[in-house]
Amino acid sequence: MKLIVYNLGQDDPKKCTAHRLLKFGEVKFVNNIKGLPYNCVLLNPFSRSVLSPKDIKYSKNGLAALDCSWIEAERSFDKIKSRVQGRILPFLVPSNPVNYGKPGKLSTAEAFSGALYILGEKEYARKILSNFNWGEEFFKINQELLEGYSMSKDEEDVLDLQEKYLKGIKNRKGSTEEI
């Protein structure tokens, strides 16, 4: 499966996980919308559709991520949504040192890895994060979720698992404010 990064050049390359993946030959960078394969899956945190194993049919065209500043992200995603299949990742917890434990703050490498795992590419998912000293921690934190999502048949199953998992956290902690 080809991994594509639509790079807007807004991040510090020394801190950017996408640049590190490029260095190791794991991703291809494109600098304009036309570089994205038509109908590929674009990991989009603003999408209303959740990634599920059923999306494997689109991922054959590629799996893409937008690498830009969070300040510019929503506007940037709006410009390309007609060309791609935008999908938000279900609940996962980052292990990267900048956003450790902050749900929804995955690095580009974690997002690719999580998506690959959900789409059944488990070995490839692990290979992507093997380039980072915190990579294995991502799988430890998210193992139950990743396995469950990867065994789901469609978006509805993924959302059901996510809801049950989050309710379990709420019940253990007593309130959703602590999630």
Q: Which residues are annotated as a binding site for S-adenosyl-L-methionine?
A: 17, 66, 89, 108
Question: Could you tell me if 28 and 2 are in contact, meaning their C-beta atoms sit under 8 angstroms apart?
Answer: yes
Say which residues have a Cβ less than 8 Å from residue 96's Cβ, sequence separation at least 6.
17, 106, 107, 109, 110, 132, 134, 138
Q: End-to-end alpha-carbon separation of the chain, Å? A: 33
Q: Angle at Cα 113 formed by Cα 101 and Cα 161, nearest 5°?
A: 65
Question: Could you tell me if 51 and 90 are in contact, meaning their C-beta atoms sit under 8 angstroms apart?
Answer: yes
Question: Could you tell me if 157 and 53 are in contact, meaning their C-beta atoms sit under 8 angstroms apart?
Answer: no
Say which residues have a Cβ less than 8 Å from residue 135's Cβ, sequence separation at least 6.
95, 109, 113, 126, 128, 129
φ/ψ of 128, rounded to 5, equals: -55, -45
Sequence ranges of the binding site: 17, 66, 89, 108
